Every structure is written in structure tokens, then in C-alpha cells.
């Protein structure tokens, strides 16, 4: 069965462009132009992915995203003209897996769609990830690089494991700090920067052009693997 993708956007031209592109590579497409219609379509049609605009005629997309997260873990890609770090961080903290700004490259958007659909399984089902060189085994708490075990501190492993449970998705600094260090450390971003730096060294990642641990400036980090 083809993956179903729900587009919630009030711009008819955007929906048409997305519909043509997504259908051309085999996806089924559902469309909604309001928050209310999008919520109804989500409940009734159960899509595998939602592409969500933030500027909707009957409500703010951020509020809709928060409401979706009260009952569904469907991957959500925000597609918006809003380019501020504040909007991006807010959407990701509300549970979006990705954030793409308009105008956008269709090739890049389709690649991000593929990544989100590939990793849409529940996190607990994803026990081990590998690209042939790096292997992260979450069930055994084991990290291997070129068949050699990588020794990590508890904080380093906790950060890497959290990123590995959501591969190719942006995890915000706030989410990482709260989960690994605790809610009282949500502003202590220097802790996280130090751990990411150590992880890159141990994984052989070039800090100027990292392959595995990508920085989303002002937002958070993304693990690219597989």
C-alpha cells in the first residue's frame, strides 16, 4: 500500500504543486485547506505523514500541531514562509519532525519526506542503526565504529541515543537538555555543545562539515545515519 500524505495548506497552488510531485513518486495525497478540515482528515484517513502550513485561515498551525500531538505521533513536516528561529524551535518543541521554509527545493522536500517515512516506525522498534561504518545498538547500549567499540560517557551516550531514536529528524537543544540533564538545565546549552564536540571527535566527524551529527543553527541537532 502506498503511503498516504496529508497536506494542510490554504494555498491552492502549493497543494497542487505538492500533489503532482508526491503522486509522481507513488504517494497517495489527501488535501485540506483549513485546520478543522485537516484535523478531520487526519482522524478519518490516518495518513503516514502530515505536511503542515502554519498560516491557516481558521487557526494557527502551531496550535494545530500541539493538538495533533495530544492523540497522534504521526510524523509532521512543517512547510511555512516563517523563517525565524523562534518559529522553528516552537514547532519542533511542539512535536514536528522537520521544518522546511518556503520557497523550497522540491527535490530536497521529497528527500526529507522519504527520510521521515522510512523512520516512521515507533522508536522502540528501532533497536539498531548502521551505515556500515557506524553502528548504534540501542538494545545493548553499544556504539561501534569500523567494528571497534566507541567508549562514551553516560551523557554522551544519552545524547547520541536520543538522536538515534529519531534519525534524520531535528531534536531541539531544549529537548536534549531537558531529557539528558533535566528541566532545570534547559538553558545550559554549553553543556550540550561540549558533549556534541566530544561525540564528533569520537565518531571521526569533521566539526566544520560533520557527516553524522548535523547542526541546525540556533535550533538543535540531527543524526544522519543510513
Instruction: Render pLDDT for 150-187 as a digit per residue (tens, 0 to 9).
Output: 999 999 999 999 899 888 888 888 889 988 898 788 88
Closest CA to 144 of 133, 128, 158: 133
- Contact residues for 83 (Cβ-Cβ < 8 A; gap 6+): 101
Kindly report the backbone phi and psi dihedral angles of residue 34, in degrees, each rounded to the nearest multiple of 5, phi listed first: -135, 165
Per-residue model confidence as pLDDT tens digits over 30-51: 999 999 999 989 888 889 999 9
- The pLDDT value given to residue 125: 46
Instruction: Work out the pLDDT band at 124, boundaries 50, 70, 90.
Output: very low
Between 119 and 81, the more confident residue is: 81
**3-class DSSP string for the chain:** CCCEEEEECCCHHHHHHHHHHHHHCCCEEEEECCHHHHHHHHHHHCCCEEEECCEECCEEHHHHHHHHCCCCCCCEEEEECCCCHHHHHHHHHCCCCEEEECCCCHHHHHHHHHHHHHCCCCHHHCCEEECCCEEEECCCCEEEECCEECCCCHHHHHHHHHHHCCCCCEEEHHHHHHHHCCHHHCCCHHHHHHHHHHHHHHCCCCCCCCCCEEEECCCEEEECCC
CATH superfamily assigned to domain 4-118: Response regulator (3.40.50.2300)
Equal fold, 4-118 vs 124-223:
no
The C-alpha cell that represents 72 in the structure block: 497522534
Assign 193 a pLDDT band (cuts: 50, 70, 90).
Answer: very high
pLDDT band at 226 (very low <50, low <70, confident <90, very high): low
- Residue 11 is predicted with a pLDDT of 93
* Unique residue bearing C-alpha cell 553502528: 135
Q: Would the pLDDT of 142 be above 60?
A: yes
pLDDT at 121: 52
pLDDT at 126 over 60: no
* Residue pair 97/169 in contact by the 8 Å Cβ criterion: yes
What tens digit of pLDDT does each residue of 71-112 get?
788 899 999 999 999 999 999 998 999 999 988 999 999 999
Q: Please give the class, per CATH, of domain 124-223.
A: mainly alpha
Burial of 191 (0-12, 13-18, 19+ CB in 10 A): middle
Per the structure block, which three cell numbers stand in for 138?
A: 540501542
Q: How high is the pLDDT of residue 139?
A: 82
9-20 confidence digits (pLDDT tens): 999 999 999 999
Which sequence spans correspond to the domains of the chain?
Answer: 4-118, 124-223
Residue 192: burial class (beta carbons within 10 Å; 0-12, 13-18, 19+)? buried
Query: What are the C-alpha distances in Å from 43 to residues 16, 36, 65, 74?
Result: 22, 11, 14, 11
* pLDDT recorded at residue 123: 42
Amino acid at each position: 500500500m502506498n503511503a498516504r500524505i496529508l497536506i494542510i495548506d490554504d494555498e491552492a497552488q502549493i497543494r497542487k504543486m505538492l500533489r503532482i510531485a508526491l503522486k509522481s513518486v507513488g504517494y497517495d495525497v489527501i488535501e485540506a485547506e483549513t485546520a478543522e478540515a485537516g484535523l478531520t482528515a487526519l482522524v478519518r484517513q490516518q495518513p503516514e505523514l502530515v505536511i503542515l502550513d502554519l498560516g491557516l485561515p481558521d487557526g494557527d498551525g502551531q496550535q494545530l500541531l500541539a493538538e495533533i500531538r495530544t492523540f497522534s505521533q504521526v510524523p509532521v513536516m512543517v512547510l511555512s514562509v516563517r523563517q525565524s528561529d523562534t518559529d522553528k524551535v516552537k514547532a519542533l518543541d511542539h512535536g514536528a519532525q522537520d521544518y522546511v521554509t518556503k520557497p523550497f527545493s522540491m527535490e530536497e522536500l521529497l528527500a526529507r519526506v522519504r527520510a521521515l517515512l522510512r523512520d516512521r516506525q515507533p522508536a522502540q522498534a528501532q533497536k539498531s542503526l548502521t551505515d556500515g561504518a557506524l553502528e548504534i545498538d540501542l538494545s545493548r547500549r553499544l556504539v561501534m565504529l569500523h567494528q571497534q567499540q566507541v567508549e562514551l560517557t553516560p551523557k554522551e551516550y544519552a545524547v547520541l541515543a536520543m538522536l538515534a531514536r529519531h534519525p534524520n529528524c531535528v531534536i531541539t537543544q531544549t529537548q536534549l537538555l531537558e531529557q539528558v540533564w533535566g528541566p532545570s538545565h534547559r538553558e545550559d546549552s554549553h553543556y550540550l555543545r561540549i558533549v556534541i564536540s566530544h561525540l564528533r571527535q569520537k565518531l571521526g566527524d569533521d566539526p566544520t562539515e560533520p557527516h553524522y551529527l548535523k547542526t541546525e543553527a540556533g535550533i538543535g541537532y540531527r543524526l544522519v545515519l543510513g
